[in-house]
Every structure is written in structure tokens, then in C-alpha cells.
Structure 1
Amino acid sequence: MPHDLLTVVVAAYNEGDSLPLLHPRIAAVLEGLESQGVTGRVLYVDDGSTDGTWSVLQGLAAGDARVGLLRLSRNFGKELALTAGLDRVDEGAALILDADGQDPPELIPRFVELWQDGFDDIHGTRLVRDGEGWLKRATAHAFYRVIGRLSRTPIPADTGDFRLLSPRALAALAQLRERHRFMKGLFGWVGFNRTSIPYHREPRAAGASKFNFWRLWNLALEGITSFSTAPLRLATYLGLATAALAFVYGLWVIAKALLWGDPVAGWPTMMAVILFLGGIQLIALGLIGEYLGRLYEESKQRPLYLVDVWRPAAGVSSRQVPVGGSGHAHRSAAAGGEGA
């Protein structure tokens, strides 16, 4: 009886300490998938690491024939590293797993069960986030609620990249080649049959997170501007409200001068009004600039990423961008299209 294929895609940047701890857990799970009629493979994507990550990955590949390696020419960021890995899965499903060990690979059999039941996007929803400070947990909680209200694209709350994508979901995702990529939004935009698995997120296996608050802020800004024009509309409403208040205040100043001969307001009042209106205008211009900057990046049509080394494992194809996809979640997708 032919087996289905599952490729575990792991994007890593300076994770040389955590990968030796993570891979044995993945390998043990893949061995158990045989009983579910699934053959498992692992594809590690080195996103231009500057530590010993690539050497560690080479060692893992030498000791396990199921391991494929992809090394990018430089650090392109996690979103593009995930895109590069998913582009090279043209058969079977793909499961995305973080390299830090916080998302438990032991849940993979449950993901596979739901895939075999016909679901296309099975995502893990975090109930508890161990190893993270209260500020990071609070800001992450707020971000998912804000983008959930601003965006028409369904983006599940408290859900990261830990998910399984069926062949047709992968094929649909491969058609989305925008440069500014917020993967959680792209997963939601694809749609199809979706379900979630609640889980307990563990602390990092080793090392420290590469996402500081500045990078998380930029990621949040990327997500909001990629999947919502609400900030532009807010700037419009704010401008209209400010103009209305200014008009009403102007009528009041004129009425006071005509009725009571009230003197013109002094320098402090004038400066306060000028600074307020100037701040509103600069905020509006900044919002417009964010969207124009994204249009500028898209117009250049540069490749999403460049590959330095590509060493596929058995069952992981070198084809770059599968497209198309139809039918049931468990059905193989058509392949073809242009390279990344």
C-alpha cells in the first residue's frame, strides 16, 4: 500500500544549540508515522546563519537519509525562509515547525490524523506560552485581537506557524508571490478546510529568541499593512474629525470677537494648535508612506530569496514553485510554474 509523504519544514537562524536537541524528537515521531501510512522527511532551511548552524545541519544530514538541507545566500528573514522551504515540497503535505523546540513535534501524529480526515490547514493554537515574559505575552495577545478586527482575512488568534498544510493548500500558497510576506495572513487567505489543535507551548530548548521587541513590532506592522487598509481609513477619519473641530473652534473665535470683542488668542494657544495639526499630518503621511513603500518593493520584482546550497532528501523534490491544486485535502496537487 503506497504511503503518503509528509515533509517537516524547519527554518533556522543561529540555532546551532537547539537543533541537536530537536532533531532526535522529530526523528522519533517520523518513525512512528509509518503506522499511519505516512513516510516522513525533514527539510532544514538555514536562513544565512552566522554561527555553527550549517555545520550542525550537515552533521544531521550525514546521519539521517531523511534530512534535506537548503541554505539561503544570506539572512532573508523567517517569512522568506519558510517560503523557500515550502517551495521545495511538491509532493505530499508539509508541516512547519520552529527550530527552537517550543512547538512539540510529538503532536505531529495528531496533525496527520486530521489531514487524513480531510483538513487542509491544521494549526496549533497556543493555550500557554512558557518561557516568555508577561510583556511579550500581553503584546502578542493584543496583536492577534487587533489584526483579527482590522483584517477581513481570517487570522486565528494565538496561532503561529506551527501547522500542517495539505498538498492543495501548499499549491495555492505557492501562487502568492508578494515580497512583503506575513505568513500567518497568507495561510488564512488561502482558506480551504481548517481546524486547530490547542497545545501547551514549551520554553526554548536552548539559546535566546532572535525576535526582540523591535523586530516583533515590525512584524506586527507588516501584518497589519499587508492585510488591512484600516490605518489609511483611520487617518482619513482623524483628518475629518480634526477639520470639523477646527471649523467649530474657528466659528467660536469669530463669534467671541464680534459679540464681546475678545482679543486674539496668544502664542501658547497658537503653538499648541500648530503642533497638534502638524503631528496629525505627519502621522497620516507616515501611514501613506508605509503603503507606498510596499508598492515600491513590489514594483522592483526582485526574487524572494536566493539559494546557496540545496541538498534534497529522498521524497523532497528540487522543483521550486508548485502551483494549482484542487480537490480533497488528501489529494496530490498539480505542479509547475515559474521559479522563485
Structure 2
Amino acid sequence: MGYRVVYSVVVPIFNEELVILESYKRLKEVMDKTNEEYELVFVNDGSRDSTKKKTELICEKDDRVKLVNFSRNFGHQAAITAGMDVAVGDAIVVIDADLQDPPEVILQMIEKWKQGYEVVYGKRAKREGETFFKKITSSMYYRILKSMTNVDVPVDVGDFRLIDRKVCDALASLPEKSRYVRGLVSWVGFKQTYVEFVRHERFAGETKYPLKKMVKLALDGITSLSYKPLAFSSYMGVIFSIIGVIAAISIIIRNVVLKAHVLSLGLLLSLIVIMFGMLFVTNGIMGQYIARIFEESKERPVYIIDNIVNYKEQDMQRKKVN
């Protein structure tokens, strides 16, 4: 690649041996249509199958393909971050390897970028092959997140997007370690728009985002962009204090005036269970923020790279020029 790289396509991969060849083929077909210089940056997030070996074979045949190998599994958001750090293009596209997000949509994103937009994200008009539970919880989450933060976080949007070089540099300057990339892209601002597309079923293999990882990602998103859950704890404390005072006064009045013993053991136990329940909920909310502070205070790197295939010294020089 002796010319200036215009487009960098970042592809996080983890145990994607069944889709990696088709993913490369589709991406190459799309990017060849631009008639401009590009690179494909695959980030191997500690795959335990033959993903690494198959991608290395691709690198041998195509020097426009780079492979970033992590020392272990650091997670999807870390892989995206590493890919953007390594990318040298004027525009950086992030897309998963599973082909649920159609590579052909990249051409529409490029058109928007050339019109002057600095962030072009893919908005899911329809989601095929996903369970009702995942669709409804995802929809609810993004709307809740949007209502809890002052940042304009788009709904029905994942990490599939194109960002301008200056947006990429702005993201690289952010010091936080627990990365919620899609939220950070919204936070940095710049001129943003979207293109709609239909999200397909996985080409092959299994999802790399089971419920546990989805919950963690959701919590990262909320704690990185909003402090309202902490305010919620305070509000609930005030509300239950008022309810407790009113209940106590009403019981005393009834006992004195009507000489009736209203307070039963069952009622007392129920109130205690409710109070302890709310106490644990509020402690859990605070614990999420404390854990985030703890992670940031250790100042460990977001990821550790074992090696990079097809990454040369001139690539670093080209990035400095960009």
C-alpha cells in the first residue's frame, strides 16, 4: 500500500472461524467498488478456534489486510478501540464479522461522509433472526438510556458506523478504560447522521453476546453516561422515609383514638423486607459506580497486543501524517 489510505474497516473477531472467509470476501467486494485505497483491520480478541490461522492466511495473500492479535480476550469494546487505534484511514468503519450488518451499507455511509458528515451510524430498521426477548429488551434499554442522559444517544443503533479521522482521534484522547464506544461516539459530538438497514441473521456460528455480556454492556453504558441511578437511590430513600412517617403517625392515631392494635407482626415483617430490599438495590447501584471508579483507578491499559500482522513502520508514519 504505497498510497494514502482513505478507508479503514475495523472488524473485531472472536471465535469466528465459520464466517471469517466469507466476511473478508464480502468486505473486499464492497471496498473494491470505492476505487480508493483501503485497509481491513481484523482484531483477534483471543480466539480459541482457527480464526487466527485463517486470518493469517488472508494476510499472506492480501497486504491490505492487517491482523491485530490480543494477548488474551479483552472484550468486544476493547477490540473496537484497538482497531481504531491501529487504523490509518481518513474514515474508519466499524463492523462485526458475523455479517448481520451488511457490508454493502458501507457504501451508503461513505456517501454521507463525503457530504460532510463526520459520524454515520447504521440504524436498524428491522432485525431478522433475533428472539422477541432480545428485541424488546434492546429497544427498552436504548430508550431508557436516552432518557437518563443529556447525551443524544440514538436508539436502535449498535457499533456499526463510520467515523471521520478527527472523531477517531478525539476518542483516542479519552482516558477512560471501561469503554462504551457507541456512547462515547455520541458524547464527542461532531456532525452526525444515519443510514437505515435491515439486520440479518448471523451467516454462521453462535452469537458472541450472551445475556451476561449484554447486561454488562448495558451497565457500562448507563454508568459511563449517567449519574441518575444514584439520584434514584436518593429519591427512593426520601419516598420511603415519608411513607414510613405517615404510616407511623396513622398507626399511632388509630391506636390512641380507636384503641385498635393495627400493627401486626406480618405487616411489620413485610415493611422490614421492603426496606431491606430497597437498601440492597441502592447499595447495588452505588456498587456499580464504585466498581467503575476502582477499574479506572488501576490505570491498566484497555488491551494488550501480542503482535500485528502486515503492520509496517510506514503505516505508523502515514498515521502521523493523517
TM class, shorter-length: over 0.9
Paired residue for 1:329?
Answer: none
Paired residue for 2:204?
Answer: 206
Decide whether the 8 Å contact of 1:125 with 1:198 is kept in 2: yes
2-side partners of 1:288 and 1:311: how far apart?
A: 43
When the two chains are superposed, the root-mean-square deviation of aligned CA atoms in Å is 1.8
TM-score (norm 2): 0.95
Segments of 5+ residues of structure 2 without an aligned counterpart are none
Which residue identity lines up with residue 105 of structure 2 in the other structure?
A: L
Shift of 1:314: 7.0
Shift of 1:313: 4.8
Identity of aligned residues (%): 32
Aligned length: 319
- SS of aligned partner of 1:33: coil
Paired residue for 1:288?
Answer: 286
TM-score (norm 1): 0.90
Indicate which of 65, 68, 91 corresponds to 1:67: 65
Which residue identity lines up with residue 237 of structure 1 in the other structure?
A: Y
1:27-53 deviations in Å (ceiling 9; x for gaps): 11121111xxx2111000000001111
Paired residue for 2:19?
Answer: 18
Shift of 1:266: 2.5
1:64-94 deviations in Å (ceiling 9; x for gaps): 1110110000000000111011011244111
Paired residue for 1:228?
Answer: 226
Shift of 1:316: 8.2
| Structure 1 ranges of 4+ moved more than 6 A | none
Paired residue for 1:263?
Answer: 261
Shift of 1:311: 2.1
Shift of 1:241: 0.5
Specify whether residues 316 and 161 from structure 1 end up closer, same or farther in structure 2 by C-alpha distance, changes over 3 A only.
farther
Paired residue for 2:137?
Answer: 139
Indicate which of 80, 101, 104 corresponds to 2:102: 104
Which residue identity lines up with residue 307 of structure 1 in the other structure?
A: I
Decide whether the 8 Å contact of 2:178 with 2:302 is kept in 1: no
2-side partners of 1:107 and 1:86: how far apart?
A: 19
Which structure has more relative contact order (CA 8 Å, sep 6+)? It is 1
1-side partners of 2:118 and 2:253: how far apart?
A: 66
Paired residue for 2:273?
Answer: 275
2-side partners of 1:256 and 1:40: how far apart?
A: 79
2-side partners of 1:169 and 1:263: how far apart?
A: 67
1-side partners of 2:97 and 2:58: how far apart?
A: 14
- SS of aligned partner of 1:42: strand
- SS of aligned partner of 1:195: strand
1:1-340 alignment to 2 at 5 Å?
5-34=6-35, 38-263=36-261, 265-313=263-311, 317-318=315-316
